[in-house]
Structure 1
Amino acid sequence: MSLSRDAATQFAQVLSEALPYIRRFVGKTLVIKYGGNAMESEELKTGFARDIVLMKAVGINPVVVHGGGPQIGDLLKRLDIQSQFIEGMRVTDSATMDVVEMVLGGQVNKSIVTLINQHGGSAIGLTGKDARLIRAKKTMATRQTPGMSQPEIIDIGQVGEVTGVNTDLLDMLVKGHFIPVIAPIGVGPDGESYNINADTVAGKVAEALRAEKLMLLTNIAGLMDKQGNVLTGLSTSEVDALIADGTIYGGMLPKIRCALDAVQGGVISSHIIDGRVPHAVLLEIFSDVGVGTLISNRKH
């Protein structure tokens, strides 16, 4: 069956628009944080896997970091282990950490690897414990209690922050034409496991690799102004101003700070994109319009 004339013209326009971007990003590393709705819908999961394989096929080097909070919550519930969150972070005792490792390092990681490989890629699944890929240390939560001058410091168990990334391992895999898929579990100096926010891990991996782009898939259209319009093409100073005037607040702040830190740490641009849109990753990379918010140190 041949394409109609209109369909053929539209197809050619899409390819023509993508070509300059493909040329620009050949040989570059892109770190993509994958989670949320994009990980739950079968259509979106398949589209994501095909997008990653296509990127590798045209000479771009994708590195995937994934979340899995809902899957962890589901298994904890089935095992009758209570979940508690403090300042947005899951309190992680040893029993919870066992579940986190089982779900992220096993179930979720391997399902993503399998899907990418089924669509022609060569994905390799890793946790931060493999070859000490993600070195970490324990972090504490702080909470400001009304009436107290100093914030309360709270022990939230095996929750960590990134102290280093084994870029030698990732460089070896990328040069070997593999697609690394990383579960956000860190390893401490004595071999202890740490549960780390996936956005944070993706940002630190992007910084360590001096990536061209950090892409954070979310469940919203992007960063919005007070009128509900999606903002894009933002400089780091403009983002700072939006935080200061209250446009960016609440649950969006950690994601924006992650994107901002990555750019300030040497990543060329960060993108907060709508993972509910089919092929959102390709649209953001290869089209003039994009599907989210772009933050960089320079104007585009």
Structure 2
Amino acid sequence: MHQAIEKANVLIEALPYIQRFRGQCVVVKFGGSIMENEAGVRAILEDVAFMECVGLRPVIVHGGGAAISRRMREAHVQPRFVRGLRVSDEQVIRVVEEVLNREVNPHLVRILQGYGGKARGIHGEDILRVQKHTEEHEGETFDWGYVGNVTKVDTEPVKAYLNSEIIPVVTPLGRGPDGMLYNINADEAANAVARALPARKLVFLTDVPGVLRDPDDPHSLISTLSVGEVQHLIDRGVIAGGMMPKVRGAVDSIAAGIRKTHIIDSSLPHSLLLELFTDRGVGTEIVP
């Protein structure tokens, strides 16, 4: 009986959050090492199916994880890097498209459907328009090939799915003005989709608990971070590396009207539900 009461208390704690977010869109981005953990992927998607069942309108934007690197090795495609970022030439972009659109995306859709959720894949190039990503540094122009930055999002297909209680599952690919396919940083793609809809919340599932004051101390989690504090933490080197695009994306999203962005640990079982539907949460929330 005690366990049954505890379960009831959990549901009661979740009730005000379910009421508050019912009918609201939440964009969830995940990728990275969790993609190699089938149990972890299933736990995330079970949370997403629960979110949809209780009235939220989730949208997934996903990366490819190590599957892309593995397929490149199998195809004997040698990776090439410029300033630490992988160049996407014609051969690489073909592999990326094959893995994201034809392997990873259908797999995630099938898992969601197995949890009773209605889900459909959306190839990113059908809704995302991009321009080639280049950078100027000390008078030199750096070019990563078919790597793009989002300039426009066609939200109509996404909204049509949401209005039909279907979970859209989007790949981070875009179409350039030259008609060619471009690879997009998945954090940027999620950020662009969230801003365009617009979403109530944007959630980044990552490989760390959230933003840490000390990267070597998992107990130094910053549970709430205001936009005004971000630049100070960047200047101090607290926010750096792979966390930078997530936090910068969060700042841009909040400026565009999204109320909160969350950065949480994808390896923690049911971290999505714990962050969204409990009083304490488990990651970092970035607020205005």
Gaps of 5+ in 2: none
Structure 1 residue matching 2:237: 3-state secondary structure: coil
Match of 2:287 in 1: 296
Measure, in 2, the Cα distance between the counterparts of 1:32 and 1:88.
Answer: 26
Measure, in 2, the Cα distance between the counterparts of 1:29 and 1:87.
Answer: 36
Gaps of 5+ in 1: 145-149
TM-score, normalised with respect to structure 2: 0.95
Measure, in 2, the Cα distance between the counterparts of 1:85 and 1:289.
Answer: 41
Match of 1:189 in 2: 177
Deviation of 1:92 (Å): 0.4
Match of 1:108 in 2: 104
Q: How many residues align?
A: 285
Is 1:77 paired with 2:73? Answer: yes
Q: Which moved more, 1:214-223 or 1:237-246?
A: 237-246
Match of 1:249 in 2: 240
TM-score, normalised with respect to structure 1: 0.91
Deviations 1:173-197 (A, max 9, x none): 1001111000000011232100001
Deviation of 1:262 (Å): 1.4
Deviations 1:120-163 (A, max 9, x none): 01111011222xx0111111145x5xxxxx25321110000000
Letter of the 1:281 partner, please give it.
Answer: L
> How much identity, in percent, do the aligned residues show?
43
Deviation of 1:247 (Å): 1.8
Is 1:7 paired with 2:3? Answer: yes
Is 1:202 paired with 2:190? Answer: yes
Deviation of 1:207 (Å): 0.5
**What does 1:158-169 correspond to in 2, within 5 Å?**
158-169=146-157
Residues 88 and 207 from structure 1, CA distance in 2 versus in 1: closer, same or farther, beyond 3 angstroms?
Answer: farther
CA RMSD in angstroms, aligned pairs only: 1.4
Deviations 1:98-140 (A, max 9, x none): 001000111000100011011101111011222xx01111111
Deviation of 1:12 (Å): 1.3
Match of 1:135 in 2: 129
Match of 1:220 in 2: 208
Deviation of 1:72 (Å): 0.7
Deviations 1:19-45 (A, max 9, x none): 010000001000000212332222212
Deviation of 1:88 (Å): 4.2
Report if aligned partners of 1:36, 1:275 keep a CA contact under 8 Å in 2.
no
Match of 2:46 in 1: 50
Is 1:99 paired with 2:87? Answer: no
Report if aligned partners of 1:36, 1:217 keep a CA contact under 8 Å in 2.
no
Match of 1:147 in 2: none
Q: Which moved more, 1:183-192 or 1:106-115?
A: 183-192
